Amino acid sequence: MNYSFLNPVFLDILKLDPADFRRNTVRILNPISTDDSVLRTFLLPSLARNLVSNFNQGIRDIKLFEISKVFINGKGKLPEERVKLGAVYLYTPGQHLWEDGTETFFIIKGLVEKAFGIWGLGGYSFIPTGEPFLHPGRSADIVCNGQKIGFAGILSPGVQKRLDLEHFRGEVGLFELDLTEAGSHLSVTKKFQPLPRFPYIQRNIALLIDRTIPAHRVLEHLTEFPSELIEDFWIFDVYEGENIDEGKKSLGLTIIYRSSERTLTDEEADSVHNSLIKFLKEKTGGRLRS
């Protein structure tokens, strides 16, 4: 649990632009200390401080979240109050035998998507972000019906260094959601379905596509594929580098197949899977990575 106070120094550590609305802080007349002299405008500074504190205690796998109000100094007599959900995820690779190799960004993105699925929030997308504290190319703004409701990504190396985490060999994933804004886009209709009775079949795809194609565009194509047997799908890896053609990237996809009426055979799953691969190749102009 954090107090609603903020050390203004963190706004500089996170490289916020002078015109950023999160610098519109409410100054406290009788602060507990000079370090906590304004009210928070977002949660990340507090969570970053919690992360550093735990890291300095020798903890290397850190998962923290907070739901709290923030206060933005606006034009009215009283500050604007908004409810935010924030989380940080600091992970040291090589600590567990059961690691699956999923990239940190997609773990964070998956958490956000899982929350949206539980809430019944649709119409959202992940688009390139300009947040100065996030890693370029490995982060995103979260937009719903044209309105920004949050951000997700990897902490930039420069900010990680300024937080005295430069010797940490892992990555810091994080997200923050404006629940006040997101709440205005929620569907009032809840949908329920029976728990699965039959086992699923999992297949993976390594798709080589132009690096200019956003990953979320491929996910959109997956939703367009006409099959009732596809239960779920997600991205587990994006790779650019050695053994990848110039201007290309490898997108790792996991597809879950399941029937609500019977146990699927491998042959049935493979038939749909091969059709899906052909569909994605046509939509993206890509090919399977050999």
Task: State the residue for tokens 């990237």.
Answer: 249
Residues in the chain: 290
User: Contact at 8 Å (CB) between 218 and 251?
Assistant: yes
Q: Is the pLDDT of residue 265 over 70?
A: yes
Q: How far apart are CA 60 and CA 57, in angstroms?
A: 9
Q: Is the pLDDT of residue 271 over 50?
A: yes
Of residues 55 and 257, more confidently modeled: 257
Closest CA to 203 of 105, 263, 276, 290: 276
Task: State the residue for tokens 């890693």.
Answer: 135
Looking from the CA of 99 toward its CB, the CA atoms found within 13 Å total 12
Q: Is the pLDDT of residue 262 over 90?
A: yes
Q: Which CATH superfamily is domain 201-288 in?
A: Ferrodoxin-fold anticodon-binding domain (3.30.70.380)
pLDDT of residue 102: 62
Of residues 276 and 90, more confidently modeled: 276
pLDDT of residue 98: 41
pLDDT of residue 95: 52
Percent of the chain with pLDDT over 90: 60
Query: What is the separation of C-alpha 230 from the centre of its chain, rounded to a whole number of angstroms?
Result: 23
Mean pLDDT, to the nearest integer, of 127-131?
Answer: 92
Percent of the chain with pLDDT over 70: 95
Which tens digits make up the pLDDT trace of 145-186? 899 999 999 999 999 888 888 777 778 999 999 999 999 888
What are the domain boundaries of the chain?
Answer: 5-183, 201-288
pLDDT of residue 284: 95
Q: How far apart are CA 212 and CA 214, in angstroms?
A: 6
The reported pTM is: 0.76
Characterize the bridge pairing of strands 248-257 and 201-210: antiparallel
Asked if the domains 5-183 and 201-288 are classified in one and the same CATH topology, the answer is no
User: Contact at 8 Å (CB) between 251 and 290?
Assistant: no
Closest CA to 131 of 140, 123, 122: 140
* Exposure b/e, 231-240, CB count within 10 A at least 16 = b: eebbbbbbbe
Which tens digits make up the pLDDT trace of 51-110? 989 988 988 889 999 999 999 998 778 999 999 999 999 876 655 444 455 678 888 998
pLDDT of residue 255: 96
Average pLDDT for the chain:
89
Which tens digits make up the pLDDT trace of 10-23? 999 999 999 999 99
Of residues 56 and 142, more confidently modeled: 142
Evaluate the CA torsion angle 127, 120, 150, 240 in order and state its sign.
negative
Rg (CA), the chain: 21
Of the ranges 29-33, 41-45, 144-148, 201-205, which one carries the lowest mean pLDDT score?
29-33
Architecture of the domain spanning 5-183? 2-Layer Sandwich (3.30)
